[in-house]
Every structure is written in C-alpha cells, then in structure tokens.
A and B are shown apart, each in its own frame.
Chain A
Amino acid sequence: MIDRLRSGVTAGALVGLAYGLFTWLVVSPVVRHLEHLASHGGDHGHKVAPAVGETTTAVISAGGGVLWGILLGAAFGVAYHLFEPGLPGGTLKPYVLAGAGFLTVSVAPWTVLPPATPGMEPLYGSSLRVPLYLGLIVVGGLVAATSILGYVRTARTRGRSSGVFVALLPLVALGLLSVVAPPTLTSGGAPTGLSAAFRWLVGLSQAGLWALIAVVFRRFDRRVDRRGTNAPMATARGGD
C-alpha cells in the first residue's frame, strides 16, 4: 500500500511538473489571448479588476498544475492498490484505472458542466455548480465501476466482445446525459472555432495527464515489484 502510494505520488509529481510547465507555457498564454478576444466582444465582466497580476496568476497556476498531478497521482496509487485485483487487462491494468479516473474526475462533470472557454460566463452561481460538480464525480465513479464490473462479469461467461458491449452501455448512458443536460454556459465572445479548439486542448491535456500517470506509475510499480521479489524482507516503510 505504502509502496503503491509512493509510486503514485512520484508518478504524479513527475507528470505534474510536465503539466505545470504545460499550464505555464501553453494554457496561460492561450487563456490570456482568448480573454483578450472576448473582452473586445462587448460587456465582459469576468475580470472587472484583476486582484492579482498576470505573472502571479501564471506562476500560481503552474504550481496548481504540479499539485494537481500529485493529487491525482496519490489517489491513483491508493486506488490502484485497493482495486487492482478487480481490474481487467493484465499488465495494462494501470491504463484501465487511468481511464476510469479520467472518466470520473473530468468526463463525467463535463457532460453537464463543459469546460469553460475564457470569455464564457456560467449561467448558475457556484453554490449550485460545486455540489453539481461533486455529484457528477460520484456519478462518474459509478459509471466507471459499472462499466468495469460489467466487462469483467460478462467477459468471464460470454466472451470478450459481449463484455466490451456491456462495458459500453454505461458510457453511452453518460453520453446521453450530456445531450439531455441543459446548457450551463453563455456562448461568450470568443469565436466558436477557437473555443472548440480550447475544449480539445483541455480534454486532451487531462487525458494525457492520466495516461502519463499510468505510464510512469507502471514503471515504478514494476521496479518495486522486482525489488520486492529479490528481497522480500526489506520492506522499506519509513517516511512516517
């Protein structure tokens, strides 16, 4: 458990550093630019009087990216240790869990509350959005769990392809939710093409974050595994 947590945190920190750099070099300038575009489109009140300078925002946001990686990595490590026996996929288990994590933390909330392009304004206050967001994370977790359980159960008795079919059902249901859900954002001042591109940027960067966590975690976990089989008594459990 502690070994897995450590692998997870290390993987998260490494990936988080990359992601923080990405936030700094790509996301911040893009957000600046889009906000600039949006503010010329009319009465845009998102940044009435910036309380913090742009440099501070860029630096803190980059730091936030690093911490985000660590947070996800830690959760990944613990979840991997606890749920590993139930995951399908053999050596690809970390990727299955990363997919489940991405679905839970990002995709499920986005079905109702899509990522806001700079310039877009939320239609509802944060007192409604935060509980909704947390609720959707729970929904996402349930969808991921049903999908994986459905696959495991069905694949065991009826073969792999029907397993995949059963696993897709909860995902389709989640997709339908995004169609049914009412809009939660105003269209904003940014051009449609740009805001679509921004959403892709957000979606792909989060997917990439999870995928990289899985890659690095898998590498560390294997190393721990090897060390564990060579010297089973040397359980390094320091640190706390």
Chain B
Amino acid sequence: MSTNTDTVADRFATAGAQIDPVTALTALALVAALGFTLAFLQEPLVHEALHDFRHGAGIVCH
C-alpha cells in the first residue's frame, strides 16, 4: 500500500508511533472481552445461550 520496501519491524514502529498506548490497550481490552465472552464465559445463562455457536465453531467450552 504505502511502500514496498517496508519491513514488518517498520510496520510495528509506525503503529507504535501513530497509536498511543491507551488507545491500543483499550482496543485490546475490548477484543479480549469479546473473545472471552464468546469462547470461555461459563456463566450458565451465557453458556446455554451460546451453546450452539460454540459447538459449531468447535470451541472447547461448549
């Protein structure tokens, strides 16, 4: 997209410079929360309601 001579390290460096840590952490926390809820939450109501999805996606805590 931008240049063809980029390396992976460059991409990480630019991302680190452009996005401040708080934003990155917030985004990461949101993603983790979503992933946790979908895949691991054992609370019976949630577990029952997501039952079919977890079976279908082959997630371990069905």
Residues in chain A within 8 A of chain B (CB atoms): 1, 3, 22-23, 27-28, 31, 50-52, 56-58, 60-62, 64-65, 67-68, 71, 74-75, 81-86, 106, 109-110, 113-116, 118, 122, 126, 129-130, 132-133, 199, 201-203, 205-206, 221, 224-225, 228, 240
Interface centre among A84, A85, A130, A203 (most CB of B within 10 A): A85
Query: How near does chain A come to B50, taking the closest CB pair, in angstroms?
Result: 5
Q: Are A85 and B56 in contact (CB under 8 A)?
A: no
26 residue pairs from A and B, CB less than 8 Å apart: A1-B18, A1-B19, A3-B1, A23-B56, A31-B51, A50-B48, A51-B48, A52-B48, A52-B49, A57-B48, A61-B51, A68-B38, A71-B31, A71-B38, A82-B8, A83-B11, A84-B6, A84-B11, A115-B55, A116-B58, A118-B55, A126-B40, A126-B42, A126-B60, A129-B61, A133-B60
Q: A85-B10, A225-B1 are in contact. Are A130 and B60 (CB under 8 A)?
A: yes
CB-based contact B31/A85 at 8 Å: no
B residues neighboring A (CB under 8 Å):
1, 6-8, 10-12, 14-15, 18-19, 23, 31, 34-35, 38-40, 42, 44-45, 48-58, 60-62
Residue of A nearest to B39 (CB): A133
* Prevailing SS type, chain B contact patch: helix
A201-B35 Cα distance, complex, nearest whole Å? 22
Say yes or no: A31 contacts B8, CB within 8 Å: no
Nearest A residue to B47, CB-CB: A51
- In Å, the complex CA distance between A224 and B2 comes to 11
Known: A65-B53, A68-B53, A86-B7. A110 touches B58 (CB 8 A): yes
Complex-state Cα separation, A83 to B1, whole angstroms: 13
Please give me the residue from chain A that is nearest to B8 by CB atom: A86
Report the separation of the CA atoms of residues A60 and B37 in the bound assembly, to the nearest whole angstrom.
12
